[in-house]
Amino acid sequence: MKTVLLTGASGFVGRHFARELRAAGLMPVGLDIHESGDALPLVRGSVENAEDLSAAFDRFKPDAVVHLAGLSSVPRAEAEPERTFRVNVEGTLRLMEILRRRHPSVRILFVSTAQVYGGCPQGEPISEEAAPEPDSIYALSKLAAEMVVSYYGVQYDMAVVIVRPVNHIGPGQSTDFVVSSFATQLAEIAAGRREAEMRVGNLDSIRDFIDVRDVVRGYRLLLERGVPGRVYNLASGRRLSVRGILERLCAVAGVHPRIVVDPARYRPADAGPRLDTTRIARDTEWRPEISIEQSLKDVYDDAVARTSRNSNAQNTD
């Protein structure tokens, strides 16, 4: 395996994954509707368009495909369920059909989500054999896409691996996601660009947060060592409340603002699943390496840098 095509290559995970692949001596190439910004060989296009997918395969002739592209925001999926299914399910079907017809020997890693298990506040860690119970449009769309991928793997003997990761955090993440949003607000407060007030949603939800750099290392190892036909959980094994994340970020930033609950950001408290990662550790020897403290420091430092760049850009306008 040498050339790896990443759909959604210009996104948060795609950019980190490209760096991981290069460091391992592999050649990342991409398909995305946006430019990658880091000189990644790229076809501009969408998984919604079969011609764009075909153009990427014709140009790069990859040995493996990692399907990252999709709508990943839970609130956005709830607001746009039809588009979510068009991108997440129909886009996956379109990809698999092109691979079946033209590149059936390509190795495929499909990135799903731990949210397919639904909310699991207590109990033993969940293995990959547990019955999925999706409780959001986003999770439902990813489970449906999993079924598409699994069908093609079984019916056409294609080398398909599915991974179900928990919530990613790390530098470069969109402020649509909670940890990056907190870090950006704190950086702006520390720089004097915002009143010392944090607008938050529900702080009582509990999540397993894992560093994106641990995530993409896991993806690379699954490409290299994952067993076709298997599903793999990927998690840090530590679950924290959103409140606890905010308190740690405040300590990193050295500011302690007033907390204001924003109704637009508020969702009922829930708890993400606890995942059993025995399988991925056994098959690939993967384990998380980056501490939550390091992750939050890096996220905050990235937010400070972005805030500074934005300030400088405004000053030169």
pLDDT in tens, 56-109: 999 999 999 999 999 988 889 999 999 999 999 999 999 999 999 999 999 999
Q: In the prediction, which pLDDT does 271 show? A: 81
CA nearest neighbour of 185 among 242, 259, 266: 259
CA–CA distance, 309 with 296 (Å, rounded to integer) = 20
CA 182 → CA 73, 75, 144, 262, 303, distances in Å?
Answer: 17, 17, 32, 13, 9
Task: Name the 3-class secondary structure at 214.
Answer: helix
Per the rule left: phi > 0, alpha: psi between -120 and 50, beta: everything else, 197 is: beta
Q: In the prediction, which pLDDT does 317 show? A: 53
CB of 208 closer than 8 Å to CB of 236 = yes
Q: In the prediction, which pLDDT does 1 show? A: 74
Note the pLDDT tens digit of each residue in 168-205. Answer: 999 999 988 899 999 999 999 999 999 999 888 889 98
CATH architecture of the domain with residue range 178-206+239-271+290-311: Alpha-Beta Complex (3.90)
Q: List the domain boundaries for the chain.
A: 3-169+209-234, 178-206+239-271+290-311
CA–CA distance, 296 with 17 (Å, rounded to integer) = 19
Whether the pLDDT of residue 315 is over 70: the answer is no
Average pLDDT, stretch 284-297?
Answer: 97
Note the pLDDT tens digit of each residue in 123-152. Answer: 789 999 999 999 999 999 999 999 999 999
Average pLDDT, stretch 293-312?
Answer: 91
Q: From 3.50.50.60, 1.10.510.10, 1.10.1200.10, 3.40.50.720, which CATH number describes the 3-169+209-234 domain?
A: 3.40.50.720
